[in-house]
Amino acid sequence: MAKPKKHVLVCVQGRPPGHPRGSCQDKGCAQVWQQFSDAFAARKLWESGLQLTHTSCLGPCHLGASVLVYPEGVMYTGVQPDDVAMLIDQHLLNDTPVERLLAPAEVWA
Amino acid sequence: MAKPKKHVLVCVQGRPPGHPRGSCQDKGCAQVWQQFSDAFAARKLWESGLQLTHTSCLGPCHLGASVLVYPEGVMYTGVQPDDVAMLIDQHLLNDTPVERLLAPAEVWA
């Protein structure tokens, strides 16, 4: 392994039903993670210098599912499984963040 | 919350006994995580613009416990609970990476 060009962090935090903060798990993050994981394997993204890790809480629980890309520090919220291919094609492979999914300034600015 | 000045990622990955890759859990990462978590609360590091998250595998399992700091992308290996205060004081609060704990170039360069 080497220091990655981009490191994708996918929140997989869960909380009990009725918890006031909610969680990314409530918003389907397990499927978002699976899409990333499958795509990294199928498209050999690890071998292309990208890295993928799942995490505890990244912060904007009420807007999840949350995905954070470093080193640029771009946070995405409201990510759905169908968004993953676009995040890979536009941002990870073409360095163009997906505007539609950017976290609002009140949570990440 | 806001985009953090520094984001500390602590691997808490476990693997079954005898697994060839080993894991950071084998190397005491739970105590490393606890030290960071306690210090973030006691020293109000969240309020100082730092962020702390635990993660799945960060890569250099055989050299764990692994701690990664973004946006600079500095990877530490072999981190012990007693190292946490120095990582906070020198790197997080004074922007000076702790040379002694830097991951070797063969795993992160």
Asked if residue A12 is part of any domain, the answer here is yes
Domain that holds residue A62: 6-101
Query: Does residue B72 have a pLDDT over 80?
Result: yes
Chain B: closest CA distance from residue A75 (Å): 9
Evaluate whether residue A108 is within a structural domain.
no
Contact B2 A60 (CB under 8 A): no
Does pLDDT of A85 surpass 90? yes
A104 touches chain B (CB under 8 A): no
Residue identified by tokens 């005491």 is B28
Whether B64 maps to a domain, the answer reads: yes
Buried b (16+ CB within 10 A) or exposed e, A7-26: bbbbbbbbeeeeeeebbbbb
B3 touching chain A per CB within 8 A:
yes
State percent of chain A over pLDDT 70: 100
Could you identify the residue written with the tokens 């997080």? Answer: B92
- Within a domain: A1: no
| Cβ separation B3–A73 shorter than 8 A | yes
Q: Can you tell me the ipTM of this complex?
A: 0.95
Residues A73, B108: C-beta atoms closer than 8 Å: no
Chain B environment of A46 (Cβ under 8 Å): none
Mean pLDDT of A13-40: 96
> Which chain A residue has the Cα nearest residue B74?
A3
For B59, which of A1, A56, A59 is closest by C-beta distance? Answer: A1
B15 Cβ under 8 Å from any chain A Cβ: no
Residue A84's pLDDT is what? 98
What is the torsional sign of CA A101, A102, A103, A105? negative
**Is residue A74 one of the residues assigned to a domain?**
yes
Give the number of domains in chain A. 1
pTM for the full model?
A: 0.96
Residue of chain B whose Cα is closest to the Cα of A105: B2
CATH of the domain at B89: 3.40.30.10
- Distance (Å, whole) CA B49 – CA B62: 31
pLDDT of residue B2: 86
